[in-house]
Structure 1
Amino acid sequence: MHITNLISQYFGKVAKFEFPSFIQRVINGAYVKFLGLNMSEFRNPKFYKSLNDLFTRELAIPRQIDKDEKTFISPTDSLVTQCGKLEEDLLLQIKGMEYSLEEMLTYDCADNFEKVNNGDYMNFYLSPKDYHRYHASIDFEVRKLIHVPGKLYPVNLKYLNKQIDLFVENERVILECFHQEKLFYMVFVGALNVGEMEFTFEPRVETNKDLKQAKVYEYLEPKKIKKGECLGCFHMGSTVVMVWEKDFVQLEELMGQSVKYGQRVAYIK
């Protein structure tokens, strides 16, 4: 097991520990103040029983989302660190740092490589202060889920600029999704500290464990997901990469901008 995975496991144990309530209130309050969390949509920090409980907090006030059937919404509260068109199967983790989509998706997606070549992509980076749950960008069907074990390098801007093939090296969960027979992928990339990802529709996925090879879940009856539905959560910050097949969508101009879950990020051509 890589050192980043071990660090994350130990940090996870601390983050999940429930201290006596008066101590936990102090810890939560300090965390909120230190990172400058906006808690206006959430419960008071004193109600969270552990730091991990605070990390993975649910919205207490329902978010208004773009309900247009022809739009994709942001799956997360995050920073768009890169977006644009693939060049064949190449995309950017950050400016000047290319990697192969085929390597990230693995050969368990090989049947669809031609569809996504020259398609569009967008990277969503969640910082430790962001809302850590992820949601469906549009109505879709999940036909395959691939859990790829790997390292847990940080995914902040510093590491994106220096760690080659970070999204290929790190542990990730890949959803193969279809909207009216048009293909797109959602790739959830693990990161340092805790390193866990949960999926509400697939409880068999357990990340940051001693998994030796990829696990593939194929659904003869596709999992039907509604726009805005909560798909699960990151335990600490991480990244979602969305990739659409060629000529499917037009991306909004969001490079370098912060986006909110529910905000339009692309529309169907």
Structure 2
Amino acid sequence: MHITNIISQYFGKFAKFEFPLFIQKFINGAYVKFLGLNMSEFRNPKFYKSLNDLFTRELAIPREIDKDKDCFISPTDSLITQCGNLEDDLLLQIKGMEYSVEEMLTYNCANNFAKVKNGSYMNFYLSPKDYHRYHAPCDFKINKLIHVPGKLYPVNLKYLNKQIDLFVENERVILECTHEGKLFYMVFVGALNVGQMVFNFEPKVETNSDAKEIKIYEYESLDIKKGQCLGYFKMGSTVVMVWEKDFVQLEKLLGQNVKYGQRIAKKSI
């Protein structure tokens, strides 16, 4: 097991521990103040029983989402660190650092590599202070879930600029999805101190464990509705979305912070 996984497991144990109320209130308050969390859409920090509860907090006030059926919404509150069109099967981890979509998606998606070549992509980085839940960007069907064990390097801008093939080496969960017959992928990338990635529709997935083999879960008809909560990161991390060629037109969002529910792309006519 890589050192990043060991560190993350120990941090995960600390984060899920429920301290006596007065200690937990202090920890939660200090975390909120230190990171500058905006809690206006959430419960008061004192009500969360552990740091995990605070990390994975639900919205207390429902979020308005773009309901246009022809648009994709952001699945997360995050920073768009890179986006654009693939050059053949290459996309950018960060400016000047390429990696292969085939390596990220693994050979288990080989039948669809031709479709996503020269397609579109967008990277969403969730910092530790962001809302950690991820939602459906549109109405779609999940065809398969692929859990790929791996390392847990940090995914902040510093590491994106120096760690080659970070999204290929890190643990990740890949969702293969279709919308009106068109293909797209959502890739959830683990990171240092991410104790777990949780998927509400598939409780069998267990990340940041001792697993060494890729696991695949296939579905015949798993329908997901736009805005539906898919699960959550236990700490900040990254989501990469990849669309097949000529499927969408991306909004110009590079370097901008986006909110879950905000339009990020529109289907090509």
Fold similarity call, TM over 0.5: yes
Q: Secondary structure at the match of 1:124?
A: strand
Which residue in 1 is equivalent to 2:240? Answer: 241
- Residue type of the alignment partner of 2:72: F
Which residue in 1 is equivalent to 2:231? Answer: 232
* 1:57-91 alpha-carbon deviations (Å, 9 max, x no partner): 00000000000000000000000000000000000
Q: Secondary structure at the match of 1:24?
A: helix
Question: Within the alignment, does 1:134 sit opposite 2:127 as a pair?
Answer: no
Partners of 1:222 and 1:256 lie apart in 2 by 36
Which residue in 2 is equivalent to 1:259? Answer: 258
Gaps in structure 2 of 5+ consecutive residues:
none
Partners of 1:210 and 1:31 lie apart in 2 by 29
TM-score normalised per structure 1:
0.99
Count residues with an aligned counterpart.
Answer: 268
Percentage identity across aligned positions? 82
- Root-mean-square deviation (CA), in Å? 0.5
Contact 1:97-1:161 at 8 Å conserved across structures: yes
Which residue in 2 is equivalent to 1:143? Answer: 143
Question: Within the alignment, does 1:22 sit opposite 2:54 as a pair?
Answer: no
Q: Secondary structure at the match of 2:102?
A: helix
Which residue in 1 is equivalent to 2:97? Answer: 97
Q: Secondary structure at the match of 1:167?
A: helix
Counting only pairs closer than 5 Å after superposition, residues 173-192 of structure 1 correspond to structure 2 as 173-192=173-192
Contact 2:194-2:236 at 8 Å conserved across structures: no
Which residue in 2 is equivalent to 1:65? Answer: 65
TM-score normalised per structure 2:
0.99
- Residue type of the alignment partner of 2:26: V
Partners of 1:261 and 1:194 lie apart in 2 by 20
Deviation of 1:229 (Å) = 0.1
Gaps in structure 1 of 5+ consecutive residues:
none
Partners of 1:172 and 1:65 lie apart in 2 by 27
Deviation of 1:222 (Å) = 2.2
* 1:98-137 alpha-carbon deviations (Å, 9 max, x no partner): 0000000000000000000000000000000000000000
- Residue type of the alignment partner of 2:232: C
Which residue in 2 is equivalent to 1:161? Answer: 161
Which residue in 1 is equivalent to 2:106? Answer: 106
- Residue type of the alignment partner of 1:128: P
Contact 2:42-2:58 at 8 Å conserved across structures: yes
Which 4+ runs in 1 deviate beyond 2 A? none
* 1:23-46 alpha-carbon deviations (Å, 9 max, x no partner): 100110010000000000000000
Partners of 2:211 and 2:56 lie apart in 1 by 24
Deviation of 1:215 (Å) = 0.3
Q: Secondary structure at the match of 1:188?
A: strand
Deviation of 1:218 (Å) = 1.0
Partners of 2:156 and 2:248 lie apart in 1 by 27
Q: Secondary structure at the match of 1:162?
A: coil
- Residue type of the alignment partner of 1:144: K
Deviation of 1:194 (Å) = 3.4
Contact 1:152-1:195 at 8 Å conserved across structures: no
Contact 2:194-2:237 at 8 Å conserved across structures: no
